[in-house]
Amino acid sequence: MSHSDRNFQTPPGLYLAFIVTALVTFPGVWLGFSGTHVSPILGSILFGAAIFGAAFILSWAAEAAQIDISQSLAIAIMALLAVLPEYAVDFVFTWKAAHDPEQAQYAIANMTGANRLLVGLGWPVILFLYIWATKKKELILKEHQRVEIFYLAAATLYSFTIPLKGSLNLFDTVILVTLYGLYVRRVAKMESEEPDLVGPVKIVANMKDFPRRVCTAIMFLFAGLAIFAVAEPFAVSLLDTGELLGIDKFLLVQWLAPLASEAPEFIIVATWSLRGQAGAAMKAIISSKVNQWTLLVGTIPLVYAISGQSVKPFALDNFQNAELFLTAAQSLFGVALLICLKFNRTSGMLLLLLFLSQLIVQQIRIEVAVIYMVFAAIYIFKSRGSILPTIKTGLFSK
């Protein structure tokens, strides 16, 4: 049945949910755009509510978009918009680093923390919510999801060169941004398919082609602007609250700020997982990892050069190199786990425990990185038959 033949039931409750969700975002968005100062606790509540509402609108837009474009492209757009807060926060630190070298550690801390949260916490959460909701023992990914895995693998392999040379430069910008462009080009060529729609998105799906596309675009734009408007004040509110509690600023920047900025993404993928759509959830969070590991990392030296008004590399010290190496090692292990298109309880628990161990005991981060590398080698060897299919699917359309 074509989409034009579909007619979804839209009881009044769906319209109410749509309106209430939109209204929830307005107080935080107004505060964000107006720059009105509020207490850290009130700010955390209002900005958090705005992110929560915008995340749902963004997820509905991504589902509606799948009627007209491929799921991978729709989710790639959603993933990029969902992590706009992370870009905003990291670019602020990078811009300041050109004039205050101390800020460089915060730029790297924020970026590496966000990347490790996606894989170490996000992936297991999707898996365990899916297992809990469906009573299944493992998550089986679809063949076309090799595309995201391939580009994550390519970005990960290149990322190991950064700590080796001890800097990020404009050559890295060219390579990584080009890699992201190739990823978007590849997913844009994938075929669209009728999505399994749930909730208020059915209202949009019932529209004729042109109104539906306009409404979908407006939803993407509204959610993206809302998230961008509240990103920095939400992170600042949480940081201020953390400092009041005496928590170290570096830890706040590396973990609390990214957790806040990744909140829209986590809300979306958690919702999809509970609905049994863990494949789409994994696609979304891997896409976020790809765009952060390419576009975000790649634009750091560009922002740094523009701010400093000179072409010079973003220099990394030994600690920052170690952070990048640990992040790359975790990413490689993640690729090794998924290359066979299966994600089970053992793999999810291992990924989560290794993440928590380096989070709780910071002194063992290099040891954890080595463990990641060892496990990655083992899993890649076990799944070596999946390497060539992943490369073919990642590079070529059928």
pLDDT in tens, 239-284: 677 777 777 777 777 777 777 767 777 877 888 899 888 988 899 8
Tell me which CATH code domain 3-395 carries. Answer: 1.20.1420.30
Could you give phi then psi for residue 397, rounded to 5 degrees? -85, 150
Q: Is 395 left (phi over 0), alpha (psi -120 to 50) or beta?
A: alpha
Contact 348, 123 (CB under 8 A): yes
Tell me which residue of 338, 328, 329, 334 sits closest to 387, measured CA to CA: 338
Residues of the chain with pLDDT under 50: 1-3
Q: Two tokens at 167?
A: 């800097």
For the chain, what's the residue count?
398
Q: Give the pairing type, strands 167-168 and 138-140.
A: unpaired
Write the CA distances from 79 to 33, 102, 181, 227, 367, integer angstroms.
Answer: 23, 30, 15, 12, 31
Write the CA distances from 347 to 30, 139, 157, 210, 211, integer angstroms.
Answer: 43, 11, 21, 44, 44
Angle between helices 209-244 and 71-82 (to 10 degrees): 30
Instruction: Record the pTM.
Output: 0.82
Q: What is the pLDDT of residue 193?
A: 60
How far is C-alpha 125 from the geometric centre of its chain's CA atoms?
A: 14
CA distance 207 to 227: 26
Q: Two tokens at 265?
A: 């993404």
Contact 220, 58 (CB under 8 A): yes
Q: What is the pLDDT of residue 192?
A: 59
Q: What is the pLDDT of residue 101?
A: 85
Residue ranges per domain, the chain? 3-395
Q: What is the pLDDT of residue 197?
A: 62
